[in-house]
Amino acid sequence: MATPTSLPATFVAGNVLTAAQMNALRGAFRILQVVRATDSTTRSTTSTSFVDASISVTITPTSTDSDILLIWSANAVLGSPSSLRRGFVQITDSSNVAIEGAEITTLGVNTNVSNYAAFSLMAFDSPATTSATTYKGRFKSETSGTISVQDSGASTGQMFALEISA
């Protein structure tokens, strides 16, 4: 994949790009593919350790230089007991290793007002492979109360993986 490294470090009025430089610029930082998964089944846990939310995407990068933008969006319901006000969500690779920056460590609600919490979690990964790569959503409770994601009565959870060219 062409990269913009052949472009001038600075642009000065009157500079003209060569055809090769224009092609490099056109090929850089494009979305090459989008993979989407949805889940409208309520997934619940009382575990204080991360468990699978049964939503995942598998993407096969076209280049080892590509980056992957990940997005997981869903509703969470924090419920029984009513004192449970916090839960946690994360995006991991297939080995359950959290993608750096892809964890909401305090998904909280005020149970006196509502026990629903919508979230969107974004992450950026550079897998450096052209092999199929799976990412999945995981969640846990703060204090062994019940937390649910992708609440079937409120919303459909969605996860996206976008391959971005280098």
Domains within the chain, CATH numbers bracketed: 30-164 (2.60.120.760)
From its phi and psi, is residue 29 left (phi > 0), alpha (psi between -120 and 50) or beta?
A: left
pLDDT score at 129: 95
Q: Which tokens belong to 130?
A: 């052209």
- Number of C-alpha atoms within 13 angstroms, CB side, residue 64? 2
- To the nearest whole percent, how much of the chain has pLDDT over 90? 39
Is the Cα dihedral 69, 73, 78, 79 positive or negative?
negative
Which run of H or E residues covers position 89? strand 86-93
Is a pLDDT exceeding 90 seen at residue 126?
yes
Helix, strand, coil proportions of the chain in percent (round to 5)?
Answer: 5, 50, 45
Strand partners, 59: 133
Q: Model confidence over 89-122: pLDDT tens digits?
A: 899 998 889 888 777 766 665 555 567 778 889 9
pLDDT, tens digit, 9 for 90 and up, residues 36-57? 999 989 899 989 999 999 999 9
**Where does the pLDDT of residue 152 fall: very low under 50, low under 70, confident under 90, or very high at 90 and above?**
low
The Cα 37–Cα 96 span in angstroms is 18
pTM for the full model? 0.78
